[in-house]
A = this chain, B = another copy of it.
């Protein structure tokens, strides 16, 4: 077969040293143009391919960015990933993607694996139950850029890419109030996560601002899985409070609730108005269409990608790791109209 040819083969053929070949191929300034041209054309002629393994070893870097997401099969996450991949790819980096499946344990293992395999940077969206962050210590200690996306935590020198969940929650809630809702329910995900707890804060602020009541019954913490819809419906029906406005932490769950409520003969939006979150494609296809908060997943991915790349290129001071907050947007559709 055709054994891979190396810089040594080239060097021998051309009668120069391997160092010269290497420098020529990397366009090093201390090599004459003439020599570079000779080397490069011979390299093409012989079909030379650089061996990444050797480069990695000698440079101690992999041109690879690690990513840990809770689940790949979520429309939001895969959209974020699409953005990240685009930027990384354009910058010549490969993406190693792994999923924590919402488990801190698996997140830990993945973080370790990626660290061991020598990623140059790590992007993370935290698992559902991550409460400890020691598994990122190695990255920080070794100054490997570490960036959190959406589901974040505050670690020294780590960037975060988020939206203003509190404000979004506030806006969504105030919209419901403006449409005449008096008895609001926030159906939340795990409140240990910043995204959901922040939205709750916004929800509470809006409720307080308009002198509505907020107590335990106005909040339902759920795992947002389809299986939990019944529980939500039960809450709505049996709490005794005449709920007329729902703010649901994601569109998918909101759509399920919508469907179930219709089955229970609630009229949407007449009886109960609903605002979801994410602007999932689904939100525009259900009947009635679902009001929601547009959550710029793709842009988040793009920004996350750009942020890593610039940190890797040194164009951003690593110490000055910053936090980027993207703009969200309330999309008003049928499910919340008076």
Contacts and interface: CB of A to CB of B under 8 A. Distances in A.
Interface of A: 1, 49-54, 56-57, 60, 62-64, 71-75, 77-79, 81-82, 85-86, 89, 94-99, 101, 110, 113-114, 116-118, 141-142, 252, 255-256, 258-259, 262, 281-282, 285-287, 297-298
Contact of A77 (B56, B74, B78): B78
A53 to B, nearest CB: 4
Contacts of A297: 73
Contacts of A259: 285, 287
Contacts of A96: 64, 94-97
A241 B298 CA distance: 41
Contacts of A64: 96, 117
B73 A82 contact: yes
Given A57-B54, A298-B73, A98 B98 contact: no
A89 B73 contact: no
A177 B35 CA distance: 73
Given A50-B116, A94-B98, A286-B286, 15 more contacts: A54-B57, A63-B117, A72-B81, A72-B82, A73-B297, A73-B298, A78-B78, A78-B81, A85-B97, A85-B99, A97-B97, A255-B285, A262-B287, A285-B285, A286-B287
A176 to B, nearest CB: 21
B53 A53 contact: yes
A285 B262 CA distance: 11
A338 to B, nearest CB: 22
A117 B51 CA distance: 8
Given A57-B53, A85-B99, A72 B63 contact: no
Given A1-B141, A117-B94, A256-B285, A74 B78 contact: yes
